[in-house]
Amino acid sequence: MQPTIFVSIASYRDPDCQNTVRDLFQKATYPDRVFIGICWQFVPEEDKDCFVLETRPEQVRSIEIHASQSKGACWARHRVQSLWKGEDYYLQVDSHMRFVQGWDEKLIAMLAQCDSPKAVLSTYPLPFTPPDSLGADGVITIYPKEFDDFGVLTQRSEVASLKDAPPVPRQNAFIGAGWIFAKGAVVSEVPYDPYLYFEGEEITLAVRLWTHGWDIYVPNAVVAYHDYGRRADRPRHWTDQTDWPTLNKRARTRIRYLLGIDRSGNDEELAEIGKYGLGNARTLADYEAFSGVDFRARLYHGKTLAKPDLAPDQPAQAAQRAAVFAQIWRDNLWRSEETRSGGGSTLAETGPLREWLPKVLDFLGVEILADAGCGDMNWAKEMAQKLRLYLGFDIVPELVAGLRETMKSHPHCLFAQADVVTTTLPRADAILCRDVLTHLPLDAVLMALQRFRHSGARHLIATTNDTGRNSWIRSGGWQALDLTAAPFNLPAPRLVLDEGGYKRIGVWSIEDLPQ
């Protein structure tokens, strides 16, 4: 009899969940031992494409929740754990993932290599592009990134070559919530905290695991892949729910209490804190000594976490960023026959923008425009042809070469390969940056904004989203980036086009940007 595995999936209006389930079963060496629990959060009349489970439905347990009743990712993961029936192992993944062949055998064998009876394997999975184009292999380790304005620690990751992977998993202090594997007892010993929202999920879980006697390890082989570039038109919880700021604010107080930053809080903010709090096997001070993190002083190994500045980032990071976006460009043809720049760049989606932007450029007196991330120019060609000089920049070399060929009859339209994170663009009247910064980590966005300011342009025209929050993502992922929220804190844009939902195109004076 093979040991059993319970797989936890919290799915929010995600049509790819069915493909994740299919891949889990198809790639398992012993699919009979795999049991999947799903918390479906959906709108019945709009999300019928999310529910096509054709692979081993008898091994799938589910809880169905109307999206309007959902209280966030942590709450959903908590609900999924109620479906665990004592399986030997517990695997927590996101709803948009792919797996290697024999993932079940690999994970069990890898866990056995760890020198702790209570080991937890966790990392950020490597990227894949739908439907099934897997990214380059490597070993990912999670590190602290910075403390946000509320003292919550954010995280980053580094990728090493597989040839440099250690022979056995190495211990670490940090986890990725979308990829966790441990013995099933972790469900009963460290149950998921339903009162957290999204921010702080990973660092608080790492501390709770540690203080309950569980040890975290970095996988030393590739097992899973994650779609970091999920479709921009698929709703997120915070785009549907009007009360998410209240949930998030309440969770921040809880996080600060758990991490010893601030020991205050009311009954609602600290509900069931004993059940979902720290353990007694080790102390918070033990965790801080092991991890190097001082939560109250906001230090890492006695030093402040560095803020990005105008110095170029590490060549490895720049090369990785270029590779990620080049791969997305190569694989993006399946998304739309009209444009390879994503569904938001179709002529239908950009109708209001194509009408509004030329008027704004005329009002601002823009004759020279620098387009930071021009893509395939599906919607911008007519506008570019009317300018005195259009300068198009993109990180993907074959895209730039193609534009030079297709636009060669327009000598005032020039194109160059550039990484806007590390390249200061030539002086122009305005910089246009639509749907580019939304795919970058927060430190890279800050560096790009600083580069824009130092370009000498008079205006920035960029995508922003009315969400009030920003999160850490990897290059090539996506989030509804709000340039007026921390850590950017730009003032309200001076001109705004509402592109629908929470998405805006804002106009700022270049003086509004960070130096």
**What is the CA 160 to chain-centroid distance, rounded?**
20
Pairing of strands 119-122, 97-99: unpaired
Residues of the chain with CATH 3.90.550.10: 5-300
Q: What is the distance, to the nearest Å, from the Cα of residue 263 to the centroid of all Cα atoms in its chain?
A: 30
pTM: 0.65
Q: Which two tokens stand for residue 380?
A: 């911008």
- What's the token pair of residue 188? 């009963």
pLDDT-flagged residues of the chain (< 50): 232, 308-312, 334
Options 3.30.1490.20, 3.90.550.10, 3.30.70.20, 3.40.47.10; CATH of 5-300:
3.90.550.10
- Number of residues written out for the chain: 515
Amino acid at 58: E
pLDDT, residue 23, reads: 97
Residue 448 has φ and ψ, to the nearest 5°, of -65, -45
Range 315-512: architecture per CATH = 3-Layer(aba) Sandwich (3.40)
Nearest to 330 by CA among 395, 405, 422: 395
pLDDT for position 297: 87
Q: What is the 3-state secondary structure (H, E, C) of 392-421?
A: EEECCHHHHHHHHHHCCCCCCEEEEECCCC
Task: From 59, 9, 65, select the one nearest 38 (Cα to Cα).
Answer: 9
Which residue carries 């998993």 as its tokens? 169
Query: Sign of torsion, CA 56 62 65 71?
Result: negative
pLDDT score recorded for residue 174: 97
C-beta neighbour count of 491 within 10 angstroms: 11
- The boundaries of every CATH 3.40.50.150 domain in the chain are 315-512
Task: Centre a 10 Å sphere on the Cβ of residue 27 and count the other Cβ atoms it contains.
Answer: 18
Q: How many helices (H) and strands (E) does the chain have?
A: 13, 23
Helix then strand then coil, % of the chain, to nearest 5: 30, 25, 45
Q: Which string of b and e fits 353-387 if b means at least 16 CB within 10 Å?
A: beebbeebbeebebebbbbbbbbbbbbbeebbeeb
Kindly state the greatest CA–CA separation across the chain: 74
| Phi, psi angles (nearest 5°) of residue 450 | -65, -40
